[in-house]
Structure 1
Amino acid sequence: MSLPASRPSQGGPLRVVFAVVAGLLFAVAVAVNGLLFFGMAFAGDSCGTSAGTQRFCDSSGGWMLVAMFGPTVALAAAAVTVVLGAVRVRRPWTGLAVGVLVYAAGPALALFTVFG
């Protein structure tokens, strides 16, 4: 009696490639967030000089918090987007592309806040 031939798993190698690419992008995003957080911790030093932007140095607006924590919130939103795209919608590469765009909004907002 012979066993039936096993079917190859649907998309097995592509899942591994997706996981590796998503993991590398996540590691790069965490490194970028660390550098931005470090930079934003010292960005307020220029508020007493002419180099500080009005938006960032205004203490009533909370823009300093947006610049400091915006990339972290964007990274969390991007991770949720990628997971939902891969698990719920079953479109992992589209979810990854949308997640990259969602994440890019956080550092862009932080840099725009500081440098105007």
Structure 2
Amino acid sequence: MNVPPPPPYPPSYGPGFPPPRPVVFAVVAGLLLAVAVAVNGLLFFGMAFAGDSCGTSAGTAWFCDDSGGWMLVAMSGPTAALAAAVITVVLGTVRDRRPWTALALGVLAYAAGPALALFTVFG
């Protein structure tokens, strides 16, 4: 007597989740990382010469004060934001298994660094 095997437990209802696509995620994350590194390089190069305008009326009060603290924020802020974004994406992907949500949060975390640097220089 042939008895058919029982259905898989629990039974699936609805269309289900799409299969994960780790290759697409890796390509998108790699491209975003390359763009972020290029933006960081351009910002670092620009911030190296941003102090030249402190003697003119073009310099902002925050960036051109004598303490040099805001200049350090403007130069290292994008790099710190990139590190925070990479940590956010890695932890969100590994621990929560939500790579696309973690990637979106990483992009938001990274965007804060260049925005802070540009706001510091241009007021």
Question: After TM superposition, is the score higher than 0.5?
Answer: yes
Normalized per residue, the structure richer in helix is: 1
Q: Normalised by the size of structure 2, how large is the TM-score?
A: 0.83
The 5 Å alignment of 1:25-104 reads 25-60=32-67, 62-104=69-111
For 1:23, the aligned partner's letter is G
Aligned counterpart in structure 2 of residue 108 of structure 1, from 94, 110, 115? 115
Q: Which has the larger radius of gyration?
A: 2
Measured after TM superposition, the shift of residue 59 of structure 1 is 2.1
Residue deviations 1:54-111, cap 9 Å, x none? 0000122500000001000000000000001110110000000000000000000000
Paired residues in the alignment total: 105
Structure-2 residue corresponding to 1:16: 23
**Long gaps (5+) in structure 1:** 1-9
**Long gaps (5+) in structure 2:** 1-18
The 4+ residue runs of structure 1 with deviation greater than 6 A are: none
For 2:88, the aligned partner's letter is T
Q: Aligned residues: percent identity?
A: 84
